[in-house]
């Protein structure tokens, strides 16, 4: 499973909304709760859970960030892709 990671994410079309999500999480709210409220991705119904994926499955900036995280680590700032701004939490 070393070539796969399991992540959850919060996707926002606006940087300001992604920063609001980041702030709420840093103040102690659960990633899952914030994802269900603020994420604009269909994965929001699962608290942002994207399941396991390997290299090449996600757009490059997202993949690079996801594979650089330790388990239970979240990106320090939103990652910009053509879809918007992502907060990524590696869960396994």
Q: What is the pLDDT of residues 18-42, one digit of tens each?
A: 999 999 999 999 999 999 999 999 9
Residue 2 confidence (pLDDT): 61
Computed from CA positions of residues 40, 43, 46, 52, in that sequence, does the dihedral angle turn out positive or negative? negative
Q: What percent of the chain has pLDDT over 90?
A: 97
Residue 75 confidence (pLDDT): 98
In CATH, what number does 4-90 get? 3.10.50.40
pTM for this entry: 0.96
Domain residue spans in the chain? 4-90
Q: Which positions ≥6 away from 89 have C-beta within 8 Å?
A: 7, 8, 9, 31, 48, 69, 72, 73, 74, 75
Asked if residue 4 lies in contact with residue 51, where contact means CB atoms within 8 angstroms, the answer is: no
Query: Does the pLDDT value for residue 91 go beyond 80?
Result: yes
Residues in the chain: 92
């Amino acid at each position: 499973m070393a070539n796969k990671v399991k992540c959850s994410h919060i996707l926002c079309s606006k940087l300001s909304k992604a920063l609001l999500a980041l702030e709420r999480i840093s103040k102690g709210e659960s990633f899952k709760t914030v994802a269900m409220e603020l994420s604009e991705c269909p994965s929001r119904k699962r608290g942002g859970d994207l399941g396991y994926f390997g290299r090449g499955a996600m757009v490059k900036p997202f993949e690079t960030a996801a594979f650089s995280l330790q388990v239970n680590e979240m990106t320090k700032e939103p990652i910009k892709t053509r879809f918007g701004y992502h907060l990524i939490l590696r869960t396994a």
